Structure 1
Amino acid sequence: MAGDRAVRSSDKPVIVFDGVCVLCNRWTSFIVRHDREGRFRLAAMQGVQGRAMLEAHGLDALSPRSFLLVQDGVGYQDTDAIVRVLRQLGGPWSIASGALRLTPRSLRDAIYRWIARHRYRLFGKRDVCYLPDPGQAWRFID
């Protein structure tokens, strides 16, 4: 897919998020706020490239229940992706990633998947995708 190739050619890791999910938008805002060096790019799953990346990594773009981080052409999902993002943010977030890694993956992923399945009911859903602040628009793909 042309869109997928364009994203993979980026030298920065890409986080694919649900642009209408309130929880996902809070996570995106957290990344923008704490990733002062601009390590990560962000792609809404509702966009062409975000959808292509989900599909390229075996996720259903119409009903995604997984967080996706694509780094160096490898897709990381669920809490493995969260751990990698937190570790790369450094400081106290790398400590949080270490603590999360102490929890067995099967348990942390089960909790994550339950939250993901119920995210709209628990946190809400927006009518439109998240729009970045104009000063941060360069971080977003699509």
Structure 2
Amino acid sequence: MKTSSAGDSREAILLVDGECALCHWITAFVMTRDAARRFQFGSLQSPAGLQLLREYQLPLDMNTFVMIQEDRAYTKSDAALRVLRQLGGLWPLASISIIIPRALRDFVYDRVANNRYRWFGRRELCNLPAAKERGRLIDGDGGGAA
């Protein structure tokens, strides 16, 4: 997705597991704190999400979080830290943990991802965001989007 601004101010797409309660919470968390409205959202399982996974040659992996920005795809802890860097408030400070080796960050990420249904639950249906936020869903009608 191309936009006219530079750097981290470009729009990004976040893809999450549409059945995961933790992922739903993360989507709501980011949406609430994204005052600049940089992020659009979708589920990995949706037609649009699946198309993006194919386009960026990413595996169909429901245990990951994907951020697509400036024609690059980031996954797992890299994606999460890049999102935090672009939020308001003190959240960008958390991105300093990028100095931790990726293997260690992703090890912790994988432990949470592999246990997320057990710890946080599974959702059969996703709540649609408020009407003013629905345009931020890449699936248009919100079907399958986080």
Class of the TM-score when normalised by the shorter of the 2 chains: 0.7 to 0.9
Residue matched to 1:91 = 89
| Cα distance change, pair 49–9 in 1 and its aligned pair in 2 (3 A) | farther
Residues 16, 54 of structure 1: 8 Å contact kept? no
Is 1:39 matched up with 2:34? Answer: no
Matched, 1:66 2:47: no
Deviation at 1:130, TM superposition (A): 3.9
* TM-score (norm. length: structure 1): 0.85
Assess if the C-alpha contact under 8 Å between 1:16 and 1:67 holds in 2: yes
Q: Confirm whether residue 104 of structure 1 aligns to residue 105 of structure 2.
A: no
Q: Write the letter of the residue equivalent to 2:21.
A: V
AA at the equivalent of 1:27? I
Q: Could you report, residue by residue, the CA deviation over 1:36-90 in whole angstroms, capped at 9, with x for unpaired residues?
A: 11011111122211111123333333x4221100001100111111111111114
Aligned residues: 133
TM-score normalised to the size of structure 2? 0.82
- Asked if the contact 1:79–1:108 (Cα under 8 Å) also holds between the matched residues in 2, the reply is yes
State the percentage of identical aligned residues.
37
Partner residue in 2 for 1:127:
124
User: In the alignment, is the contact (CA less than 8 A) between 2:33 and 2:88 conserved in 1?
Assistant: no
* Structure with the largest fraction of helix: 1
Contact 2:12 2:67 in 1 (8 A): yes
RMSD across aligned positions (CA): 1.7
